[in-house]
């Protein structure tokens, strides 16, 4: 197995799964320092995986998919920058980051790369995070742990990330649709 295939088949899914699990776990941790650590590691894993997917899809000529993953990188980078901040202080940065998550999920879902069920989950997550972003941009205080949103949007994002991991593990040369 060549290096590129290894990266796409194993490193990318590993990063997506680790990021999803640590991010969701961090949402349930009451200690701010442990939560910040988990969210920091989550962000690094997701950024690494989606940078690799950006490069992969650029090489494959899938510009829209590459753009979607690159937008995710930017959004996750914003969110990572606020991982250790006080929840209220992180609100504007978080709002900007989730607006880019929503955009990324829509961009990736608009390609033929993902099965229908992943597209549906991704679009639901995108709509929920778009509502969070709109609230934040309107000056409403929304933290990463606010309920009902974004708290109940995370499971949809986690399932979408697990779906992405499954797609790339199953078919590391991913450049077309899964049938």
Place of tokens 């077309």: 176
- Is there a domain that residue 99 lies in? yes
**What string of DSSP letters covers 47-109?**
HHHHHHHHHHHHHHT-HHHHHHHHHHHHHHHHHHHTTTS-TTTTHHHHHHHHHHHHHHHHHHH
What number of residues does the chain have?
179
Closest CA to 104 of 79, 69, 54, 153: 69
**Structural domain range at position 86:** 3-169
- Is there a domain that residue 44 lies in? yes
> For the chain, how many structural domains are there in total?
1
Share of the chain above pLDDT 90, in %: 92
The pLDDT of residue 175 is 52
pLDDT tens digits along 125-140: 999 999 999 999 999 9
pLDDT tens digits along 140-178: 999 999 999 999 999 999 999 999 999 999 987 755 443
- Is there a domain that residue 179 lies in? no
pLDDT tens digits along 53-92: 999 999 999 999 999 999 999 999 999 999 999 999 999 9
- Is there a domain that residue 176 lies in? no
Q: What is the CATH number of the domain that holds 116?
A: 1.25.40
- Is there a domain that residue 174 lies in? no
The pLDDT of residue 174 is 59
Closest CA to 50 of 38, 24, 23, 68: 68
- Is there a domain that residue 131 lies in? yes
Residue 42 has pLDDT above 90, yes or no: yes
The pLDDT of residue 4 is 84
Share of the chain above pLDDT 70, in %: 96
- Is there a domain that residue 88 lies in? yes
* Cα Rg, the chain, nearest whole Å: 15
């Amino acid at each position: 197995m060549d290096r590129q295939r290894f990266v796409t088949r194993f490193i990318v899914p590993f990063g997506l799964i680790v990021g999803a699990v640590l991010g969701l776990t961090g949402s349930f941790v009451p200690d701010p320092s442990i939560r910040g650590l988990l969210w920091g590691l989550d962000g690094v894993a997701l950024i690494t995986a989606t940078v690799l997917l950006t490069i992969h899809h650029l090489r494959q000529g899938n510009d829209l998919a590459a753009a979607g993953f690159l937008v995710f990188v930017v959004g996750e980078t914003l969110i990572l920058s606020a991982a250790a901040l006080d929840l209220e202080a992180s609100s504007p940065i978080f709002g900007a980051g989730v607006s880019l998550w929503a955009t990324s999920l829509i961009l990736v879902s608009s390609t033929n790369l993902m099965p229908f069920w992943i597209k549906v989950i991704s679009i639901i997550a995108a709509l929920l995070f778009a509502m969070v972003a709109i609230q934040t941009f309107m000056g409403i205080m929304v933290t990463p742990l606010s309920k009902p949103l974004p708290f109940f949007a995370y499971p949809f994002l986690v399932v979408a990330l697990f779906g992405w991991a499954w797609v790339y593990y199953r078919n590391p040369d991913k450049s077309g649709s899964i049938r």
